[in-house]
Structure formats: C-alpha cells, structure tokens
C-alpha cells in the first residue's frame, strides 16, 4: 500500500541506489504490512585510529613504512642473524627509542580522541518513544528516532526539523563548531508538521523520508517527506538544507524542537568532514630524501671499499691466516662469495650510523613544538573576534619561508567585508544620502531618456525590491510589536551585502520587518505596513551570480524581483533600459564600490501556475535536483525590467597596502583572484598598492578581446604583442628577476574569467595550445596579476598552472570564503582568514589568521626563522653523523679491515639519543639569527633564503666537507698522539678502547661547540642543554667506566675514561684538536663579519655624504651598530645590499 501510494505521487521517479528511506519514529506506514527495520550505522562517533587490541600491530606497521625506520630494522635483523662487529643493541636501542617516543606521542593523541569521543557518545538525550520522553545515551540513537532538543543544546545527529515551540515552525541555529559562523541561521519545518509540538502529537505522525545517501557537503541536502493521513494518501514536501539540523550545531533562541534522525554516527556530515585533506610535503622533506640517498650511497661505497680492500689485504698469506688466529674448518669450507656478502653486511652494520634515524623524531618534535609559537604570538590576536592564529598542520612551518607566489582573494581578505550602503541608481538617477522623501537628491549618469528625476512609483518599486529580494532574517530578542519597534530590529544574514542593502532601503524610508507565516512585512515611507506572500526563493549561487524572489502582493499580483551582478542581469532585461544604469555601474566600479543591479517583472497567473508546478516537481526530485532547478531559474529570469543599481562600499583592511608592499619587497609575486568586476577590483588593487601609479597595465579581458569579430585571433595578437614588449624589457639574463623588478619598468596583468577560459580550456584546438605557454611567459614577467570574474574552479586552475611552472615555485593561497577553498587546497600552503563569510576557508586551510596584515609577520618573521632553524637542523644531523662514522671508516685501514669497532657499544647507542640530541632541538626551536622584528621590518632579508637556499647542494657539500675535515682531524690527531709509546709517567700503554674514547670525546665536544658557535640567540635553555649535554657525557663516561657491570661479558671500558684524563698529554691533545677542528669555521666567520662590516661602513659613509635625507627616513644613526649576523649558508643576492 505504502509503495503504491508513494510511487503514485512520484510517478516516473524510480527509487535509486543513492537514496535512503527513513520512517519517522520507526513506525510502519500501514499496520497491515510487515515492517522490516533497515540497517543503518549507530550514533557512535569514532575519531580515534586505534583500539587497545590493534594499537601495537597497527602503529608498528605505520612506523615501519618509513624508509629510515625500515632500514634500521633490517640492520638490526642483520646484527641478530649475522656475526657482526657491533652488538644488536647499538642499532636496536636507538630504533626502539625512536619507535617508542613516536608510539607514545601517537598513543597519547589517540587517547585524547577516545576521551573526546566518549564525552559525545555518553551524553544524555531525549527520544520520543510511545508518546513519552525517554532518556538515552547519544550513541544509542537510531536512524528514524524522533529526538527532542532544548535551547543551547547541540544536535546529537543530523536531524530533519519536524516542529518547534514557535508557531511558524522555525528555529535558530549557530554552526560555529562546523564552519565558524557565529550568527544565527533560520531553519524551517514543513508546514504539515508544524503543529506537532508535543510528545503525544509527534508520536502520531506517520511519515517517510527519502533522501540522498550521506555526503560531506555541509550546505547541500536533497530529500522529500511523504506524510500519511488515515486515508494513507501521501502528501509530499521537498526537503533541503534549510530543513536539516546538523550534528554539532547549537539550538539558539528557541526553547525546544523535535527532529527525526536521518544520518547518525560516522555518517553525519560533521563526521564525514573529519576526513583529512591530501598530504602536503614541504621542500625540506624532499631535500632530506635527496641527502639520504647521497649518504646511503656513501655508506654503500664505504662498505664496498672496505670489503674489497679486506680481500686484497688477505691475499697475502700471513695476513689471511696468522699463526695466532687460525681458521676453523667450517670457515675454510665456506663459499668465498657468501663470505664476501657477509663481510659486506658487517661493514654496513659498522657504518650504519651515518644514516641519522633520530633526525625524523627531532624534525617531528621541532615542527610540533615550533607551531605553538604561531598560536602564542600576541601580534596575531584580534580583539574584534577575540581569537588569534590557528595552526591546522605543523608539517609546513618551514614552507612559510619559501613562498614565491601569493594568491589572494579580494573581498573579505584585502577588504573588510563590512558593507556600507553608499548610493543607488534608479532609472539612471543617482540617490545619495538619507531622506524621508527622495526628492532633491537625484543626479544623472550617462545619456538620459527620462525626466529630471525617476518616477515616484519606480522609486518605491526599487526600494520594495531591496526590502523583499533577500534572505535576511530578524534576530528575535524580545517580541517586536508592529512598526513601532522597527528601529530596534537586528538583521541576520549569511552575507553582509544583503544586510547593507536592507539597511540602505531603510535609509530611504522602506523598512523590512521580518517574515511571519510565509508573509514578508515591510513598512513604507508613509508608515504603512505592506505584506507580501513569499511564494518562491530562487537562491543565489556563484554560477548564476544572482538571486530572485517570487511574491504576491495584497491585491493578488505576482511579482518577480531579481538582483545580481551586472553581467548576470543586463543580458536578461530589455535593451532600452540598460545604458543609463550601465554608466552608473561603471562609474561606481571605478570608485571601488561593489555594485548590484535590480530588476523585476510581473508574472501572469497562468504563467505562475506553470512555474509553480515546475519548481515543485524539481524540488521533489532526488536526482540532479540542482541542475533541474537551475534550468527552471534560467527560464524564469528572462525579459525583466531593469529598475536600477546599488553601490556598496567594502573598505580595505587595516595595513593591507603595507603588507602587499612588504611582500613585493621580499621578492614575492602577488596575484589577486576575485569574482568581482574588473573596475572594482582594479580600483582596490591601486588602493592596496598592488599596482603602482607607474605600473603599466596589460589587459586580457572581454572588453579588449571583443574589439575583433574573431576572439581567438585578437587574443593571439595581444598575447604576442605583450610577450614581445616584456621580452624586450626583460631580456634573458643571469641576474635574478627579483632584482630587475626594482630597476625596470613594472608591468601588471589584468585578465577576466572568460578570457582565461579561452586560454586554459583550449585542448581541442592545437592552435590554441600555444596560448597557455605564451600566457605563462607573460605572467612570469609581471610583478602583479589581477584575475577578475573568477569562478572558484578557475582560481584553483590558476594556482595549479603556476605550481607546474619550471622550477616548481612554492605557492600560497589566502582567502576567507567557501569560494576560496579550492585554491587553498590546491596551493602548497593554504591560509584561511577568519572572516565574515563563515569559516569554510579557515577549516580547510593549513594556517588561519584573523587579518590579511598578519601574513607579513607570518611569512617574513616566522617563516624565515622556521626555515633557517629546520635547514640548520637537517644539515647539522648529517654533519655530526659523518663526523661520527668517518673515524670508524679510517680505523679499518689500521686494523686489517677486521670490522673492529672504534667506539664502545654504549657510545654508539647514546650518541644520537643523549649526547647530541637536545642542543640541536633547542636550537631549532629558539634560534633567532636575526631578530624577528628586524626580519619583519626589512622584507629584503626574505630573499636570502628563497629557493631553498640553505638546503642546496652548495651548502650541503660545505657541511659534508667540513665534517670530513673534522673527522679526519679527530682520527689522525689522536693517531699521531699515540705515536708516543707511553702517555703516562708510569709507562703504561693505552689500548684501542682508550684511542676510541679520546676520538669520541673530541667528537662530542666539537660538534656541540660547533652548534654553540652557530647560536646567535642565547637563552637559559640553550646554556642548559649545551653545557648540560657535555657535563652529562663526562658524568656518564665516569659512571659507565667506574662500575663492573654484571650483565657485560667484557669489562673493556672499566676505568678507561678516568685513566685517560689522568694524562696531561691527553688533556692538551683534546683541547688542541677541538680548536684545530673548529678553526676553519671560526676563521670563516671572522672574515665574513670583517668584510660585511667594512662594506656596510663604506655604504653608510657614502649615504651620509651624498644622500643625508636617506638616513633621516631610515632612522639611521652613525654611531649605531647595524651589523646583522649572517649564516654561512645564506644565498648572496646582488641587490644593492649585502
């Protein structure tokens, strides 16, 4: 019976696999039919990765997927299975430490997720069962249950609103926990269930909901509800996002509501949005992998060299089998190839510490702990929203210091997105100011075919359109009694533009009083209340770029009011209406105002019946509902009459211009990607100094292309012309383009969405394929690019195009709205502004800041320091491990390649874990080689690290050769010290373990003091970890060698360290070799600082002699020490300062 009646109503609409049917209250539609409950997931939220039972295997599997961990596991297994020169403990313990620390960190994070899940799952809720309120735990809610939610409670699952305590079945919701929007949103119940506002009445409802399967888009929902009376005849109503209450949202200003659960647990939209974004990798990670390959090659080369030389040396009979070390019969019978392979593995084990396994843990800790400095920065705190910066991922901290291109939205990012109604135009007449009657404020724009002022009826019709064509709601604080309270009304809307237009109409005497029972109420200039029944709302979307309402006035006339962008309205109105309004729109756009055009038409009753039927059918569709509605909207919004246009001001954000100037001075290219009109965006770009007055603008827009009958030919001509001009201005040179910007004519490019489509979507025409490459060449030569009339997908296409340029430049996108999410996800680094268009951009970004001005310090300050710190960390780890293992390699030449270890197993194990780990971690967190205020005030310093300068092959080879030099000094310095037969007065001779301990002592002190030399910003933490690590090494050596350990078979280190330090010669040798090892570094630093000081003094003296005004503007004092410490790995930029 149910199926027949359901299909009868929805004829032609077959039930599809992509839908689900939910029975309200889990009641069958007919008592005569068997009811089989459908199986849906329960309401448990599970955000954790592990359980108690799978934590160990799953975590180990994930960790050993990392190449370094897997490599050390193989080495450990080789040590266990093959007779190797070092104990398995030497590799196993560091690996165990790394695995354990990572497992503890991930286990703790997962425990926090378990705890948060339990708080949600065990929360008490009320469900209506058998006309009674039953208290249950949230996790026990099933799809189909009717749930009661009271004021200020969060919704436990995704609910369809059935009724509320209000007479019109509305409720107010905040979705701050979902998308960050703190304003109240209005949701509606279908009119057939509004009266069911008690547990008894709601339990009598017999209805079925058919809706789409769960999907993560928070702002889309397609469904329909079929309500059955006693006759079992279904009354069907469409369901959309306005009927869906999302899990995690909060009920506000409404005492209680009843809703039916449609999505539960991990199928709610909030849970589906937990899924992470695609993993982004920084340039530093790629450099680490390259360096690992180099060091792995060094390791293999060392092992192969020692294996070959061992058998060369053993070719001499008395070397192969000396009298004191005869081979066993088993050794003689072993295949030589197998023996060589075993020896090769043994040498691999002996030298395996050249690969820094602990570096990965240190890098992770540095990124995780370092990200807190952004969150703690008080300069990022915004008092208006009472929030600071937010780090959504710490994996890209150093990438902030490597940005080449910045892509920014305009509205809400460069501007405040705080709209103020400035003026309007009615039939070509401009109205500006506040008045009771609009007489006397009319001006004209362009050619007029009207009288001196607009007709009074047209004025009122225009203002009525502003009062009716919107989705603004009245925020209810207290009861509003008629028109007397209208001045106290608080407007709430998802877009600031709509509130500005409603307030603009209020300035001219038309006040929107709200919507009651489907009727919109306005107060006109004569203080009369007018009511209009809201028949349909044709919602705004970024493709149509317009929205409309269909209303019926008190006389029964049906009107369509439409507002939208001029490009979306002008083609749909009668041509004779356009010229005067178009002139006004162009003028206000040049002034930097946001413009919207307003139109209307009367709909005959017969046409409305057809339109109403089409809209109802389309809204009931479960498949392709949006496409069907779009076709109907497109058909309705035609042959309209243009009323006029509005101008709304969106002011620039504080310090937006200064921020763009700083980014430009830092060598970054800034592109503005906006959906706004070209004139408005162009004016904003001049105001924020993206374009200078001297910038020559190159335009590729519809206006320039339409001059020719064939657009493609004209586009090709312009592209060739612009390329020739730019190539003539910027000939190929070895100099950096960044320097050329400041010395040559600056060029800016303006392109709109339609022209960009011609360039990018040219796959089917081979002649057009060349357009993209020419366009890219032009863009690379321009200092700034403005892309206007951009769709969200086109923004992402632009970012992808630049990402794929030669050299793979690092891109950053910053925006505040949902239309910016695509480019934020596409770029290497995504920055979200916590704006007034919601928090979609902020939620999908890698970093979130309150204002655009904070981008300056984020990149020039934090980004610079993060990159320098982690680059130094990476180079230092490879350096200290090569210093560590090179003496071991050289030692093999003096022990017959017998795989004899140079260092004790305890030293091998603790070198990276205890003796040298904390100083570099502290350095990588706290170092400020240049004060952060200096970095922010002098943007040119950012260019010193651009292009991954500190992790290029030059610096890498410098660190490698430095390590090779120091490792050679360690070994041969100690070797020459041992040329003396006795180093003690009692003629005792030192052994090989003393030799290795001396080398290790020099090693630990040298690499630690090297880090001390590199430290420019000392804190008590640096002092503690550097000198504390050295003290701990000395203490440990005394302790380790001062006790006979029962678990050791050989007490080879017993009293070695103490006896070693009893020799004056050893003391002198250690101090001397440490100094010799560090001398080249000290000498290089001194020479660089002397050269820099002399160059700076020469520059300052010439400035004071020739341009004294410069010193005043820069605030330079002759007696002031302007020397900035420089890193040896800094890139030299010949840009007028060094």
Which residues, 6+ apart, have CB-to-CB distance to 119 below 8 Å? none
DSSP 94-144: HHHHHHHHHHHHHHHHHHHHHHHHHHHHT-EEEEEETTEEEEEEGGG--TT
Whether residue 221 contacts residue 626, with contact meaning beta carbons closer than 8 Å, is answered with no
Q: What gap in Å lies between CA 900 and CA 351, rounded to an integer?
A: 11
3-state DSSP assignment of residue 800: helix
Whether residue 1128 contacts residue 958, with contact meaning beta carbons closer than 8 Å, is answered with yes
The pair of structure tokens assigned to 809 is 């430049």
| Strand-pair partners of 532 | 520
Q: What is the DSSP letter of 827?
A: S
The pair of structure tokens assigned to 711 is 């657009």
Whether residue 914 contacts residue 1032, with contact meaning beta carbons closer than 8 Å, is answered with yes
φ and ψ of 211, to 5 deg = -145, 170
Q: Can you give the length of the chain in residues?
A: 1138
Which residues, 6+ apart, have CB-to-CB distance to 101 below 8 Å? 361
3-state DSSP assignment of residue 979: coil
The angle subtended at Cα 659 by Cα 654 and Cα 665, nearest 5°, is 160
Residue 325 CB-density burial (10 A; 0-12 exposed, 13-18 middle, 19+ buried): exposed
3-state DSSP assignment of residue 689: coil
Q: What gap in Å lies between CA 1101 and CA 1095, rounded to an integer?
A: 10
Give the residue among 849, 829, 925 at the shortest CA–CA distance from 396.
Answer: 829
Q: What totals of helices (H) and strands (E) does the chain contain, helices first?
A: 40, 34
Which residues, 6+ apart, have CB-to-CB distance to 261 below 8 Å? 22, 43, 141, 142, 143, 144, 145, 146, 147, 157, 158, 159
Rg (CA), the chain: 37
Q: What gap in Å lies between CA 329 and CA 432, rounded to an integer?
A: 108
409 counts as catalytic: yes
Q: In what order do the strands lie in the sheet with 244-245?
A: 132-137, 124-129, 146-150, 256-263, 158-164, 244-245
The pair of structure tokens assigned to 287 is 């450099």
Q: What gap in Å lies between CA 199 and CA 131, rounded to an integer?
A: 5
Q: What gap in Å lies between CA 404 and CA 810, rounded to an integer?
A: 5
Q: What gap in Å lies between CA 475 and CA 253, rounded to an integer?
A: 9
Which of these is catalytic: 145, 395, 409, 1014?
A: 409
3-state DSSP assignment of residue 353: helix
Buried b (16+ CB within 10 A) or exposed e, 712-735: eebbbebbeebbebbeeebeeeee
Q: What gap in Å lies between CA 420 and CA 434, rounded to an integer?
A: 13
- For 854-901, what is the HEC assignment? HHHHHHHHHHHHHHHHHHHHHHHHHHHHHHHHHHHHHHHHHCCCCCCC
What region does 432 belong to: left with phi over 0, alpha with psi -120 to 50, or beta? beta
Q: What gap in Å lies between CA 344 and CA 336, rounded to an integer?
A: 12
- For 66-104, what is the HEC assignment? CHHHHHHHHHHHHHHHCCCCCCHHHHHHHHHHHHHHHHH
Q: What gap in Å lies between CA 704 and CA 682, rounded to an integer?
A: 15
Active site residues: 409
């Amino acid at each position: 019976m149910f199926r027949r009646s359901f299909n009868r109503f929805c004829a032609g609409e077959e039930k599809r696999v992509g839908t689900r049917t939910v029975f309200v209250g889990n009641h069958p539609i007919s008592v005569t039919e068997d009811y089989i409950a459908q199986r849906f997931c329960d309401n448990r939220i599970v955000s954790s990765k592990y359980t108690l039972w799978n934590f160990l295997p799953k975590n180990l599997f994930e960790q050993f997927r990392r190449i370094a961990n897997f490599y050390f596991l193989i080495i450990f297994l080789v040590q266990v299975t093959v007779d190797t020169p070092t104990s398995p403990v030497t590799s196993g313990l560091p690996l165990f430490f790394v695995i354990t620390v990572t497992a503890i960190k991930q286990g703790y994070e997962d425990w926090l997720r378990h705890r948060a899940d339990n708080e949600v799952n065990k929360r008490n809720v009320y469900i209506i069962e058998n006309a009674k309120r039953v208290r249950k735990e949230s996790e026990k809610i099933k799809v189909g249950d009717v749930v009661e939610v009271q004021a200020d409670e969060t919704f436990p699952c995704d609910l369809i609103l059935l009724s509320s305590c209000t007479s019109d079945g509305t409720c107010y919701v905040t979705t701050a926990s979902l998308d960050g929007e703190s304003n109240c949103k209005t949701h509606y119940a279908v009119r057939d269930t509004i009266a069911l506002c008690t547990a008894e009445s709601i339990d009598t409802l017999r209805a079925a909901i058919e809706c789409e399967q769960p999907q993560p888009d928070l702002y889309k929902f397609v469904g329909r509800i079929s309500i059955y009376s006693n006759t079992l005849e279904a009354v069907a109503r469409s369901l959309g996002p306005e009927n869906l209450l999302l899990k995690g949202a909060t009920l506000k200003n409404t005492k209680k509501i009843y809703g039916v659960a449609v999505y539960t647990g991990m199928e709610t939209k909030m849970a589906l949005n937990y899924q992470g974004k695609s993993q982004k990798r920084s340039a530093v990670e790629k450099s680490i992998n390259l360096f690992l390959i180099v060091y792995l090659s060094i390791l293999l080369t060392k092992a192969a060299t020692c294996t070959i030389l061992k058998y060369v040396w053993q070719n001499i009979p008395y070397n192969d089998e000396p009298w004191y070390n005869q081979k066993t019969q088993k050794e003689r019978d072993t295949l030589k190839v197998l023996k060589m392979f075993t020896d090769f593995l043994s040498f691999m084990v002996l030298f395996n510490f050249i690969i820094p396994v602990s570096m990965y843990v240190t890098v992770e800790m540095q990124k995780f702990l370092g990200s807190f400095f952004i969150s703690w920065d008080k300069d990022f705190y915004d008092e208006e929203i009472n929030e600071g910066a937010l780090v959504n991922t710490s994996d890209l901290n150093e990438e902030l210091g490597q940005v080449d291109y910045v892509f920014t939205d305009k509205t809400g990012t460069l501007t405040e997105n705080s709209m103020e109604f400035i003026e309007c135009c009615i039939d070509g007449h401009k109205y500006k100011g506040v008045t009771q009657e609009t007489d006397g404020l009319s001006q004209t724009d362009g050619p007029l075919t009207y009288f001196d002022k607009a007709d009074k009826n047209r004025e009122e019709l225009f203002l009525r359109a502003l009062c009716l064509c919107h989705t603004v709601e009245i925020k209810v604080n207290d009861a509003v009694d008629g028109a007397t309270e209208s001045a106290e009304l608080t407007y709430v809307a998802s877009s600031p533009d709509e509130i500005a237009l409603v307030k603009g109409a209020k300035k001219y005497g038309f006040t929107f009083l709200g919507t009651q029972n489907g009727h919109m109420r306005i107060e006109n200039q004569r203080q009369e209340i007018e009511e209009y029944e809201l028949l349909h709302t044709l919602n705004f979307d970024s493709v149509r770029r317009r929205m409309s309402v269909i209303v019926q006035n008190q006389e029964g006339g049906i009107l369509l009011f439409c507002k939208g962008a001029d490009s979306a309205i002008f083609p749909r109105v009668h041509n004779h209406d356009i010229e005067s309004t178009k002139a006004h729109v162009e003028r206000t756009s040049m002034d930097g105002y946001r413009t919207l055009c307003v139109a209307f038409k009367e709909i005959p009753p017969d046409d409305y019946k057809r339109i109403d039927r089409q809209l109802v059918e389309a809204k009931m569709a479960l498949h392709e509902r949006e496409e069907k509605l779009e076709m109907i909207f497109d058909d309705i919004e035609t042959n309209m009459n243009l009323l006029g246009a509005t101008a709304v001001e969106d002011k620039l954000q504080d310090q937006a211009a200064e921020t763009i100037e700083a980014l430009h001075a830092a060598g970054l290219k800034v592109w503005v990607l906006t959906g706004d009109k070209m004139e408005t965006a162009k004016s904003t770009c001049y105001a924020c100094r993206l374009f200078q007055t001297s910038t020559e603008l190159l335009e590729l827009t519809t206006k320039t292309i339409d001059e020719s009958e064939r657009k493609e030919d004209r586009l090709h001509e312009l592209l060739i012309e612009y390329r020739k001009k730019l190539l003539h201005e910027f000939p190929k040179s070895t100099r950096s383009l960044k320097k050329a910007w400041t010395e040559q004519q600056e060029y800016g490019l303006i392109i709109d969405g339609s022209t960009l489509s011609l360039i990018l979507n040219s796959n089917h025409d081979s002649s057009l394929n060349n357009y993209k490459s020419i366009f890219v060449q032009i863009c690379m030569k321009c200092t700034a690019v403005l892309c206007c009339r951009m769709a969200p997908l086109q923004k992402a296409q632009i970012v992808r195009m630049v990402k794929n340029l030669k050299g793979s430049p690092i891109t950053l996108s910053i925006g505040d709205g949902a239309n910016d999410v695509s480019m934020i996800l596409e770029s290497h680094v995504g920055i979200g502004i916590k704006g007034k268009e919601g928090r979609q951009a902020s939620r999908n970004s890698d970093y979130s800041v309150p204002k655009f001005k904070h981008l300056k310090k984020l990149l020039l300050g934090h980004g610079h320091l993060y990159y320098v710190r982690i680059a130094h960390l990476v180079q230092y780890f490879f350096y200290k491990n090569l210093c560590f293992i090179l003496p071991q390699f050289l030692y093999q030449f003096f022990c017959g390649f017998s795989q004899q270890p140079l260092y004790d197993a305890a030293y091998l194990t603790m070198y990276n874990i205890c003796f040298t780990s904390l100083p570099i971690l502290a350095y990588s967190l706290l170092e400020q080689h240049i004060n952060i205020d200096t970095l922010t005030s002098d943007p040119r310093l950012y260019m010193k690290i651009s292009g991954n300068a500190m992790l290029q092959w030059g610096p890498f080879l410098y660190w490698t050769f430095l390590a090779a030099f120091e490792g050679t000094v360690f070994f041969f310095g100690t070797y020459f010290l041992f040329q003396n037969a006795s180093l003690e007065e009692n003629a005792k001779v030192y052994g090989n373990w003393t030799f290795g301990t001396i080398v290790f002592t020099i090693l630990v002190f040298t690499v630690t003091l090297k880090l001390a030399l590199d430290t420019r910003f000392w804190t008590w933490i640096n002092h503690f970890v550097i000198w504390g690590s050295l003290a701990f090494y000395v203490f440990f050596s005394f302790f380790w060698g001062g006790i006979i350990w029962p678990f050791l078979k050989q007490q080879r280190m017993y009293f070695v360290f103490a006896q070693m330090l009893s020799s004056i010669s050893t003391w002198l040798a250690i101090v001397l070799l440490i100094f010799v090892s560090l001398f080249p570094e000290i000498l290089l630093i001194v020479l660089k600082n002397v050269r820099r000081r002399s160059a700076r003094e020469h520059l300052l003296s010439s400035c004071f002699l020739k341009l004294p005004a410069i010193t005043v503007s820069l605030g330079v004092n002759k007696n002031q020490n302007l020397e900035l410490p420089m890193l040896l790995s800094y890139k030299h930029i010949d840009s007028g300062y060094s």
